A and B are shown apart, each in its own frame.
Chain A
């Protein structure tokens, strides 16, 4: 085993409702949705109209500025609806799935090793699998014209209630390796797998060939790919690194193994408001109602989140699983007043500080709600953010540079190395209730605009 990188700073939030390792196979959901809002900065252009028949792999929309990048339907069926929001922004393209066997577009099975780099890229683009490849800096869909210096895959997730990816990739060894083979074609550098040093990794990861293993141990965000990049092969100005989620590597692998766009994956349904938190095998983009049915504790006002509680997207009961998300979290809403809550001992409150009695109870798990626990204030405390961001970066100074819209300063302070998920904990711990993730995205958008 190679050197283990110890992550010392960070924070694990012990929430109630982690998923039991039971895999539930579901009937196909009635509808599937693809949300352009899952892709920051994307301007979508529709390829289909309502009522049109599509196969799994048929493009539903594409990127206005890079028409090659298409977003494909995960199932075959009929386009049911295009939901729009303010100023006619496309929010969701909904497909009603066939009830029988799915029809797939055929992209031709061919091992990546037999293809040239351009052919691999063309195939990924055509099948709608390209958006699974994202780039750092900025955390946006990779540019097919770039050559990344390396590709990073984090094979474990340390976020609150995160699914056990070792469990989720069981039986997918072949597809995972096929995906790795395809990715290896894309970079002149290495393909890095980030593994959890504390547990023996699944075979799909441990026996992967042609990759570099890096082991990490420590609290969240130790599993974030951005942290891995920072510690293994940091991004300097002008460099590009690509990242892929391991479950998406499998989807890419199937494209080369079987020639079809098959987005079946194992996700976790978690959270204190879930009656039986478990793993589900489903097709990406499934309506969340298909897994929530009769599985939510009664009479509770709940928030359903596609993704984890720190970075996920809020969806309503009729919403859809996000493109990149491997979990659905359900937590209580916190719309209630608390009498003298700021001085209460706080046995059931979680905090990174030790200002609450709950710190004295070892191994306590929490049922946290969505309350802000205080009003928005100017930044007063220091060393809160630093304690949960294991990077050689001054997060408060970076945030202030973004607020001041100082582009040089943002660049100097390392905006290329972080995306929202890396600084999500900063937002969690902030006593002044600063919207760190929104500010960071604003800074990233400024950088994209100014440097292109």
Chain B
């Protein structure tokens, strides 16, 4: 470590202002701080600081994503074996999925981080760690067969339009990962919906057994094919087609518990999203006029991207409500709207993405009213003083 440190100290002057590579200052800084926590000390204010920083925070989220990602890799292989009627060993299955998912992750990070670095460089900022999470989230909410060039465009769109034009991580209005998915959904709908895209190789149709359907439970439900729906156990465990990381509610819940235990993710948002979904589901049950509205409310929570959205997307601290009271309202509406879109709008089989993006827009409004209430309490106190 000492040798590495000495080497970095030796080349550091070249990357500082006026140095030979001064223009790559941010890039150098990003790599240096990746290897070593900087030696800056406090100068004013509090003399000691909490050990937490954004790198630590983001790495906790990435750790929380691991179960969903690993399961997703295995499931990609598993769904493939179902489609060709083969039976592979566990490692063979996992390896197949690993090779399918890895390029998505590489492209997502490669494109996104390049843009982040470039913007940081131009602005003279340090590189923000926000994309470390977004860059992993994006592949996990894509169908496995998405063409890599499309993914690259979607990532670029999300980072530039979703984040950098607002000033970077911390200033963005929309969740960048969901923006990438929304971009794909509207720009290349044929690659983002239907029965063929969720399983590797299904669209090409090579070796697929006759009559195999790659429909997701959501598609089944939307088509009122309740007999074709997988069992609740399969949906909870995640043995179903869907976006790479979203299928296993169990893996997502493991991630959720990591986020909650470390105190990084807001349990309030998670609970209220599930609560909102449940409430909408129960409402549908009560006024059911078609088979989709009849399915038990709790089953909605383990279908599609609901759980993944609730745990990893809605909880994005930047785009969610910033006030604690607001988080309850925000989360509840995310869950409620997701089911509303899902069940009542036949054009969009999955409502989670749109519900979260919509609530991202309304989160500042919710905060506004929560903060206004606080201001009014304070003003009333002043009025009392004036009157007395």
Contact = CB atoms under 8 A, between A and B. Distances in A.
Interface of A: 13, 15, 160, 234, 236-239, 303, 305, 309-312, 314, 329, 331, 333-343, 346, 349-356, 368-383, 386, 392-394, 396-397, 412-414, 420, 424, 427-433, 435-438
Nearest to A358: B51
B378 interface: yes
A140 to B, nearest CB: 18
A430 B50 contact: yes
B47 A303 contact: yes
Given A350-B51, A369-B48, A382-B322, A413 B38 contact: no
Nearest to B41: A370
Interface stretch (B188-196, B211-219, B262-270): B262-270
Interface stretch (B99-107, B146-154, B167-175, B299-307): B167-175
B21 to A, nearest CB: 20
Contacts of B48: 13, 15, 160, 309-310, 331, 368-370, 428
B99 to A, nearest CB: 27
Contacts of B361: none
Contacts of B317: 380-383
B374 A380 contact: no
Interface stretch (B53-61, B82-90, B335-343, B346-354): B53-61
B236 to A, nearest CB: 27
A342 B56 CA distance: 5
A12 to B, nearest CB: 13
30 contacts: A160-B48, A238-B386, A312-B47, A335-B39, A337-B38, A338-B36, A342-B55, A343-B55, A343-B59, A354-B263, A355-B263, A356-B51, A369-B41, A369-B48, A372-B40, A373-B37, A374-B56, A377-B126, A377-B128, A377-B129, A377-B169, A379-B170, A380-B170, A382-B266, A392-B377, A412-B375, A427-B45, A431-B50, A437-B46, A438-B44
B371 interface: yes
A394 B371 contact: yes
A354 B56 CA distance: 11
Contacts of A334: 39, 41
Nearest to B60: A355
7 tightest Cβ-Cβ pairs between the two chains A and B:
A374-B53, A378-B170, A341-B37, A349-B51, A342-B55, A437-B45, A337-B36
Interface residues of B, number: 60
A372 B36 contact: no
B382 A236 contact: yes
A371 B60 contact: no
Contact of A413 (B36, B170, B264, B375): B375
Nearest to A416: B378
Q: Which of B47, B54, B56 has the most CB of A within 10 A?
A: B47
B374 A393 contact: yes
Contact of B53 (A331, A333, A373, A386): A373
Nearest to A303: B47
A424 B322 contact: no
B52 A373 contact: yes
Q: Which of B35, B38, B382 has the most CB of A within 10 A?
A: B38
Given A380-B54, A429-B50, 8 more contacts: A234-B381, A303-B47, A310-B48, A342-B59, A374-B53, A382-B317, A393-B374, A432-B54
Contacts of A371: 37, 39-42, 49
B5 interface: yes
Given A339-B1, A435-B44, A397 B53 contact: no
Q: Which of B49, B126, B375, B381 has the most CB of A within 10 A?
A: B49
Contacts of B323: 382, 394
Given A378-B167, A380-B170, A382-B317, A237 B382 contact: yes
A392 B52 contact: no
A343 B129 CA distance: 13
A331 to B, nearest CB: 7
B53 A342 contact: yes
Contact of B385 (A236, A349, A374): A236
Nearest to B261: A354
Contact of A372 (B49, B171, B374): B49
Contacts of B225: none
A370 B44 CA distance: 11
Contacts of B54: 374, 377, 380, 431-432
A374 B264 contact: no
Contact of A414 (B37, B57, B59, B378): B378
Contacts of B322: 382, 396-397
B169 A380 contact: yes
A437 B56 contact: no
Given A236-B381, A376-B126, A378-B169, A331 B50 contact: no
